[in-house]
Amino acid sequence: MAGGQGNRFGSPTKFLQRVCGEIIIVRLLKQLRAICSHVLLVLSKHTLSELKSLCSNYEIDCIELCGENYVKDLAIILDTYIKLPALVLAADIVARESKVIAKFVEEALSEPAEVVTAITSRSGGAEPIGLSLFKAPTGSWRNIVLPPNLITDIDEVKDLKQAEKVCSNNA
């Protein structure tokens, strides 16, 4: 999912920031190609011009949706464009390595819930990090806690520092 407005970060293309020597979304696409048979990049008017070349460069499918509401775009994706089960990620996730995502998928598939979401501890609480496995478009929900030293998402500029720690094993 790479079509949001990036309001908290101040830019809809926050995933073009460099972390660990790579552009966030390029790093994530490489990791996904190692574990997924099909990758679909969801763009919007907010991100289309910046990311269109990734579709051809990485030979992945891309579609453009409205980008005004994550839940609405997600519902369209789940209903129309992908087969289930499906792994859905925000484009601003930084994982230490593809094994972190693969291990989440393995654990999520073993859960009886239809929707499994990754959460991590952050600023005194736990919050979703934009990583979910959908076995059905709706249904029972389960969270899996992942350590913040293995994966993080970029919501605000300050999160770039945590992302660097994820890559360097120093979190």
pLDDT tens, residue by residue, 57-106: 878 899 999 888 888 999 999 999 999 999 999 999 999 999 999 999 99
CB 12 within 8 A of CB 47: yes
pLDDT of 52 reads 81
Residues 10-29 have a mean pLDDT of: 88
pLDDT of 171 reads 44
- Give the pLDDT band of residue 169 (cuts 50, 70, 90): low
Q: Is the pLDDT of residue 138 over 70?
A: yes
pTM of the shown model: 0.90
Q: Which residues pair with 63 in a beta bridge?
A: 42
Q: Which residues pair with 18 in a beta bridge?
A: 23
pLDDT of 41 reads 92
Tokens representing 112 are 């009886």
CB 108 within 8 A of CB 88: no
The one-character DSSP state at 96 is S
pLDDT of 56 reads 82
Q: Is the pLDDT of residue 122 over 80?
A: no
